[in-house]
Amino acid sequence: MIDAKDWLEFAEKFQGHKCPALAMGLRVGAAALNKLNVERAKDDELLLHVDVGENHWAMEYVDGLQVITGCTTGKGNLIITHKGKWSVVLTDLEKNKAVRVTPKPEIILSFRKTDFFKNYRRKGIRASLAPDEVVEPVINLVMNSPEERLLIISDVYDYNHTQPPRSFNSFVCEECDEVVIEEYGRIKDGKMICIDCANNHRAED
């Protein structure tokens, strides 16, 4: 069993500030790991789909999820689906089992009523500038609420995900001399080039 509280300090250090969305990522990730009965990913044995999108105010939720599940951008086992939602699906790729976890709407909507959200985030004030007495009560609410009040956790279900294998083949772009993974190559006038050169992003004229 993984405990979200054990990762809060590290997550705040990693992200650079304290915020409720980060804490929520820890709680959701912990619930998913525990429901699937798996350890934090050392390699890419787990895969995480997160339904937020780049313009989502709570994109930083993903940092909490990465910290606790070990599914990271770098390892390639984190997929952002850009649906603008808070739901996640964690898949155990060895057993082909998955679980879906979503924070309850009441808790997300209650964020909006907090001083932290209304007077800081909504006004575009950086989270690190919010005083502790504003941000900590919201974080404590997320960290200390019982799972059943906070989250909707599905049953474990069968899920077969086929990941394309990582490519190790590369070439040197004939225009800019940078190394490019083969699948990303473009052919132009018989030359093997990179996407930037194909789009003339490097052209002087």
Q: Give me the residues that bind Zn ion (CB under 5 A), please.
A: 19, 22, 60, 127, 173, 175-176, 194, 197
Task: Give me the least distance between CB of 91 and Zn ion, in Å please.
Answer: 25
Task: Give me the least distance between CB of 22 and Zn ion, in Å please.
Answer: 5
Task: Give me the least distance between CB of 45 and Zn ion, in Å please.
Answer: 27
Q: Which is nearer to Zn ion, 159 or 171 (CB)?
A: 171
Task: Give me the least distance between CB of 131 and Zn ion, in Å please.
Answer: 15
C-alpha angle 101-17-41 in degrees, rounded to nearest 5: 40
Map residue 197 onto helix, strand or coil. Answer: helix
Q: Could you give the residue ranges of the DSSP H alpha helices within 117-204? A: 132-144, 147-150, 195-198
Q: Which is nearer to Zn ion, 60 or 92 (CB)?
A: 60
Quick one: CA dihedral 85, 139, 30, 12, positive or negative?
Answer: positive
Task: Give me the least distance between CB of 148 and Zn ion, in Å please.
Answer: 25
Task: Give me the least distance between CB of 160 and Zn ion, in Å please.
Answer: 34
**What is the separation, in whole angstroms, between the first and last Cα of the chain?**
59
Burial status of residue 174 (CB atoms within 10 A of its CB: 0-12, 13-18, 19 or more): middle
What are the backbone dihedrals phi and psi of residue 153, each rounded to the nearest 5 degrees, phi first? Answer: -120, 125
Q: Which is nearer to Zn ion, 22 or 31 (CB)?
A: 22
C-alpha angle 139-140-144 in degrees, rounded to nearest 5: 125
Integer Cα distance of 33 and 46 in angstroms: 9
β partners of residue 103: 151
Whether the CB-CB separation of 157 and 98 falls below 8 Å is answered with: yes
